[in-house]
A = this chain, B = another copy of it.
Amino acid sequence: MDLDPTAAWNIEQAPHSDVVISCRARIARNIDGFPFVNRTTDAQNHELLNLSRRMLLGSELADELVWVDLHEATAHDRRLLFERHLISKNHMESKSERAVVISQDETLSIMVNEEDHLRMQVLAPGLQLEKVYHQINHVDDAVEAEIDYAFHDRWGYLTACPTNLGTGIRFSVMLQLPALRMTNEIDRVRRAANDLHLAVRGYHGEGSESAGNFYQISNQVTLGKTEEELLAEFQEAILPRIIEYELHTRKVLVEKNSVLLDDRIHRALAVLRSARMLGTEEAMNLLSRVRLGICLDRVEEINRQIIKQLFLQIQPAHLQQHLGQELSPVEMREARATIVRQMLQ
């Protein structure tokens, strides 16, 4: 598997990219006439997979799609897909017959036999929710032209988990909030998000910690509102407030606490440029601080795109991919430090 660290969804130049790393629209759909995946037999999984393959590779999307049978893929390849946010942790680790279908540019991925029969996502850099909404709708229509979805007149699209019922759509953004973290204001964001029924997760989604000051924020309730209402609420009411809060906190740091700010930024850059061993989480935290330094014009000699690539390249499977060999945990830490040193000189 050959994957590009400068994939379309990972470019730096994008709207609101100071704070918003990427955005995503995801829909959950099930195929009429089959039980949900948690109730299917092996034979039904096999049948669902064959059906989905025929259907997707026969649809108008077919030209740009790559089909990957995950139960036949190596653990390394599955990990690589996970690190690129193309499959969930659950889908990486599951044992049953399952697949992922990816567009060449990786902005579209469709997990087959994850929690739902089809989990389709469109990813874009920065804050471009209208765009990903438009694209996921297009994908949804193309798929629905080929197959009947499980649908209930009153409940809408039927999904394995009731929180996805209704439109089955979920919007999410990956934010980087280093200033709110540094000033311990992040808990206020968490509480506010909770009150607004938003989920706050880490870099790798459900259950992952907030290494690198990444916070993935998504709507939780999809029932009782139209897709447009969900999008409008998320995009116009909620996100601008969080983005503004982070930007304001950065401004206050610059104005009132620039020594502390520069201390954190320059220490981080110095350690990244000199360490001989680096863990993933430490590296992500340090990279986040350097990225903040670049955003605030306090570090001038480093290109932000390099930092964005590094967030991906320091992940374990990407490191092994880059070096073309399996690495022990110790070798991994050394290789990570080496690539970071090289890229930041």
Contact = CB atoms under 8 A, between A and B. Distances in A.
B276 A266 contact: yes
Interface string A258-299: 011011001101110111110000000000000000000000
A310 interface: no
A266 B260 contact: no
Contact of A277 (B260, B274, B277, B337): B260
A263 B266 CA distance: 17
Interface of A: 259-260, 262-263, 266-267, 269-271, 273-277, 334, 337
21 contacts: A259-B276, A259-B277, A259-B334, A260-B276, A260-B277, A262-B276, A263-B275, A263-B276, A263-B277, A263-B337, A266-B274, A266-B275, A266-B276, A267-B271, A267-B274, A267-B275, A269-B274, A270-B270, A270-B271, A270-B274, A271-B271
- Per DSSP, chain A at the interface is helix
Contacts of A263: 275-277, 337
A262 to B, nearest CB: 5
A4 to B, nearest CB: 30
Contacts of A271: 267, 270-271
Contacts of A337: 263
A330 to B, nearest CB: 8
A301 to B, nearest CB: 13
Contacts of A274: 266-267, 269-270
